[in-house]
Amino acid sequence: MYLTKRFFGLNLLTVLLSIGLTALATVIFTAVYTKFLGREVYLNEMKRMFEVRAGIHELARDMQKLSFDQLLNPAVQQDLSLRVQAWGADAVLLKNRETVFATKPFNQIDLEKGLLLTDGAAEGETMNFGGHAYFFEHVPYALPSDGSGVLLLLSPVKLNLGFYKVLFLFAAGFFILTLLLLNVWVSYRFSRAVILPVSRLKNAAAKISEGDLSGGIAEEGEGEVRELCRALELMRIKLKESVYLQEKYDENRKFLVSSISHDLKTPVTSIKGYIEGVLDGVAQTPEKLQEYLETARSKAVLVNTMMDDLLLYSSLDLNQLPYHFEPCDLKGYFEDCVADHRYEYDQAGIALELAVELERPVTVRIDRERMRRVIQNILDNAAKYMNKPDGRVTVILRETRSSAIIEIQDNGSGIPEEDLPYIFERFYRVDAARRNASGSGLGLAIAKQIVEGHEGTIWARSKAGEGTRMILSLKKG
């Protein structure tokens, strides 16, 4: 609708502008023609012509008030002669088509013709008479004796039409040229506003249909075209998202299959080995049998944990698990978390502390269960990779202006610098940890996904041999 209106509006503007410009050009042309080129001032002639017309019209009205007999009076005729000549006109008085008085001699045939033409002619008409154009006034008189009298007032039209012809040609030419140029301009504007963007849209749509979703569609053009660009760009983004999601699904599926076949293979193979050992009678003493079965059981527990982690990781990766955020007091929440791990840490002989460096209560919006999983993974690692007799883990709570900072410090084995950038990747395990088979290699990857699900960040600082600091930043709620 907008474009239709705009199209009509522009076209109307073109016509109006052409008319306006032509009028202006005509005025300038006349001024240049008359003033600067010093040609005759035809405009004054035109004015004079109108004055003459008005003059002889008035004269005719005055004459009409007189009777025909009065007109035969030489004094009246004298006066009439003076008045018509003042206008550069002539007068002819006819009685029964016979000339009784004339300011100048006229051909009788022309007069006859003139009488015929002027009788009943409309006001303002001109008449061609003896090879000249005249304005005329026809004043009829009824004579007392049978017959008719006519006074013809004839004023020659002296207008030089040459200039007007030139002016007309100039104006017409100028109008057509302006209209053409303005039309070219309108077409150019229209093509920029509509045709170019539409052809770009066509190319973009063709690319999309070929499956290339990389190029963004710029919002250009006007009105409906702009809206179309926006709609197509939205469609492209949605399509790209769904393609991305589809790819992610596929990748996830492959990842699950490959990790099940790769990472789960080792514990499953050893379970199989131990059970075969039992069946083949390799474990001959009850203690040996107990040990074999115990090992097989712990491997089965590990497989179970790995399966759980795998499923959790892939669900998080596909955003399949909704979060239930709720405001939560930071200090209270971490006191609970620390308390949950106290027993396990005591058993392992590791000191666990909570250091609250907050000046006032801080609230965070978190999914309590999910966040508990993050803290559990970090605290489990801190205990798992502890290699000092005086093991110590400290949970420190701090705040910045907009965030709550949670730091979990340990004095364990630490992480080599070259491994540090990768520990949040799935299945990444530092070599030393590989020897200790009790992890899935997904703990920190899961932690990172959950923290990012809270729009927070997690990172690590570590020095091999000295210890590790895991740092979480969460938005204050």
Does the footprint of ligand ADP cover residue 114 (CB under 6 A)? no
**410 near ligand ADP, judged by CB under 6 A:** yes
Instruction: Show the CA angle centred on residue 355, arms to residues 354 and 361, nearest 5°.
Output: 100
Q: In the bound complex, what is the minimum distance in angstroms from residue 383's beta carbon to ligand ADP?
A: 8
Collapsed DSSP state (helix, strand, coil) of residue 239: helix
Q: Which of these segments, 4-12, 30-38, 428-436, 449-457, binds ligand ADP (CB under 6 A)?
A: 428-436
CB of 353 to ligand ADP, least distance (A): 16
Phi first, then psi: give them for residue 241, nearest 5 degrees: -60, -45
Residue whose CB is nearest to ligand ADP in the complex, by number: 439
CA angle 45, 47, 49 (to 5 degrees): 70
Q: What residue type is assigned to position 332 of the chain?
A: G
CB of 312 to ligand ADP, least distance (A): 13
* Token output for 117: 């033409």
Q: Which is nearer to ligand ADP, 149 or 412 (CB)?
A: 412
Location of structure tokens 């066509």: 202
Q: Which of 22, 314, 411, 413 binds ligand ADP (CB under 6 A)?
A: 413
Q: Contact at 8 Å (CB) between 14 and 179?
A: yes
Interface region with ligand ADP, contact rule CB under 6 A, candidates 24-32, 51-59, 275-283, 412-420 = 412-420
Give the contact letters, 65-84, x = binds to ligand ADP (CB under 6 A), - = no. --------------------
Q: Which is nearer to ligand ADP, 414 or 456 (CB)?
A: 414
Report d(CA 11, CA 14) in Å as an integer.
5
Q: How many residues bind ligand ADP (CB under 6 A)?
A: 22
The answer to whether 359 and 401 have CB atoms below 8 angstroms apart is no
Q: Which is nearer to ligand ADP, 329 or 425 (CB)?
A: 425
Binding segment for ligand ADP (CB under 6 A), chosen from 122-130, 239-247, 364-372, 406-414, is 406-414
Exactly one of 441, 449, 453, 454 binds ligand ADP (CB under 6 A); that residue is 441
What is the smallest separation between the CB atom of 436 and ligand ADP, expressed in angstroms? 8
Distance in angstroms (rounded) separating the CA atoms of residues 44 and 441: 105
Q: State how far the alpha carbon of 293 is from the alpha carbons of 270, 276, 286, 287, 456, in Å.
A: 11, 11, 10, 10, 44
Reference 410, options 331, 352, 358, 340; nearest CA is 352
Which of the stretches 21-29, 140-148, 330-338, 435-443 binds ligand ADP when contact is defined by CB under 6 A?
435-443
Pick the closer one to ligand ADP by CB: 118 or 413: 413
- 440 part of the interface to ligand ADP, by CB under 6 A: yes
Return the range that interacts with ligand ADP (CB under 6 A); candidates 87-95, 233-241, 360-368, 437-445: 437-445
Residue type at position 187? S
Q: Name the residue among 443, 447, 449 with its Cα closest to residue 427.
A: 443
Between 149 and 414, whose beta carbon lies closer to ligand ADP? 414
Helix (H, G, I), strand (E, B) or coil at 93: strand
Check residue 259 for interaction with ligand ADP (CB under 6 A).
no
The vertex-452 CA angle with 357 and 213, nearest 5°, equals: 155
User: Counting Cβ atoms within 10 Å, is residue 153 exposed (0-12), middle (13-18) or buried (19+)?
Assistant: buried
Q: How far is the CB of 253 from ligand ADP (least distance, A)?
A: 22
Picking from 400, 442, 454, the residue whose alpha carbon sits closest to that of residue 255 is 442
At closest approach, how far in Å is the CB of 418 from ligand ADP?
A: 12
Q: How far is the CB of 220 from ligand ADP (least distance, A)?
A: 48
Query: What is the distance of C-alpha 175 from the center of its chain?
Result: 37
Cβ distance 84 to 90 under 8 Å? yes
**If you search the block for the tokens 């007007």, which residue do you land on?**
164
Which residue in the set 201, 433, 458, 474 belongs to the binding site for ligand ADP (CB under 6 A)?
433
Q: Cβ distance 395 to 436 under 8 Å?
A: no
**Among the listed residues 221, 267, 439, 456, the single contact to ligand ADP using CB under 6 A:** 439
Q: Does 267 bind ligand ADP (CB under 6 A)?
A: no
- Confirm if 248 and 318 have CB atoms less than 8 A apart: yes
Q: Which of residues 359-398 bind ligand ADP (CB under 6 A)?
A: 377, 381-382, 385
Instruction: For residue 428, state whether it binds ligand ADP (rule: CB under 6 A).
Output: yes
Which residues of this chain interact with ligand ADP, rule CB under 6 A?
377, 381-382, 385, 410, 412-415, 423, 428-430, 433, 439-445, 468
